[in-house]
Amino acid sequence: TAGRKGGVDSDLVVIDVLVKRCFSESPTTRRAAAAAIGDVMQRAQFRGDTRAMQALLDVVRNDQEVSVQRAAVQSMWKAGLEGEERTLETLFWAATSHPEPQLRKGAVESVERLTSRGDPLGVECLKECLKDTHAEVREAAVRALERASHEGEEEAAAAAEGMLKDESWFVRRAAARALTMIEPEGERQASVAAKVFGREDKLWYAEVQGYLTKPLFYPI
């Protein structure tokens, strides 16, 4: 309809303006523009728009302000297309190579949202993120791996099992849950994890027990 066409045209104009503002001299303007691109594209259903996605990719890789890069990473999952290789490669770089832990975590979460279940590129990226030096990033990667993997996927299950020995209890908790979802035999492995690692935190133990079909005994 004419009304809808007018709305589409106005959205395209807004996106053009925001793309230009992503390269403003003002960090505040760049951050606001990068954040708004995702919202506009999601609302207008312009996911994958070439100009906007290229602007976000450039910001993530080249902007000197972390807050601007974080806004762009957040927008990428709203504006991107699932499985788009160039987008995933940029997020992979951000998730594994950026010096800021919170940005790496945000990139992991965006990879999760843009990875179709079982997609090799996304799953490989998430497995690499399990090696991160920050526990919050590792936890996000475990949770994302759970959602991105097919049930019974051996490599993903093995990766989750390896995280049961993580130094962080909440990473181990996420790994126990992931095993119950990925691998049919995961209940047994999560049970072992709860018995070995759950004693220092009763809340963690209770959550893991909720994932299992057979209750576990907690030694007080």
* pLDDT at position 129: 96
Query: What are the pLDDT digits (tens) for 163-193?
Result: 988 999 889 888 888 888 887 666 656 666 6
Is 5 part of a structural domain of the chain? yes
pLDDT: is 30 or 178 the higher one?
30
Task: Judge residue 207's burial from the number of C-beta atoms within 10 Å of its C-beta, 0-12 exposed, 13-18 middle, 19 or more buried.
Answer: middle
Q: Which CATH number does the domain housing residue 42 bear?
A: 1.25.10
Question: Which residue type is seen at 141?
Answer: A
Domain that holds residue 32: 1-81
Average pLDDT over residues 101-114: 94
Is 43 part of a structural domain of the chain? yes
Is 11 part of a structural domain of the chain? yes
How many domains are there within the chain? 1
Is 69 part of a structural domain of the chain? yes
User: Which of these, 116, 106, 169, lies nearest to 141 by C-alpha position?
Assistant: 106
Is 57 part of a structural domain of the chain? yes
Query: What are the pLDDT digits (tens) for 136-168?
Result: 999 999 999 999 988 888 888 889 889 988 999
Task: Judge residue 139's burial from the number of C-beta atoms within 10 Å of its C-beta, 0-12 exposed, 13-18 middle, 19 or more buried.
Answer: buried
Query: What are the pLDDT digits (tens) for 37-48?
Result: 999 988 877 777
Is 124 part of a structural domain of the chain? no
Is 62 part of a structural domain of the chain? yes
Report the C-alpha dihedral over residues 58, 60, 62, 68, rounded to 10 degrees.
Answer: 110
pLDDT: is 202 or 59 the higher one?
59
Task: Judge residue 99's burial from the number of C-beta atoms within 10 Å of its C-beta, 0-12 exposed, 13-18 middle, 19 or more buried.
Answer: exposed
Which stretches of 98-216 are DSSP H helices? 101-114, 120-129, 135-148, 154-162, 169-182, 186-197, 202-211
Is 89 part of a structural domain of the chain? no
pLDDT: is 219 or 186 the higher one?
186
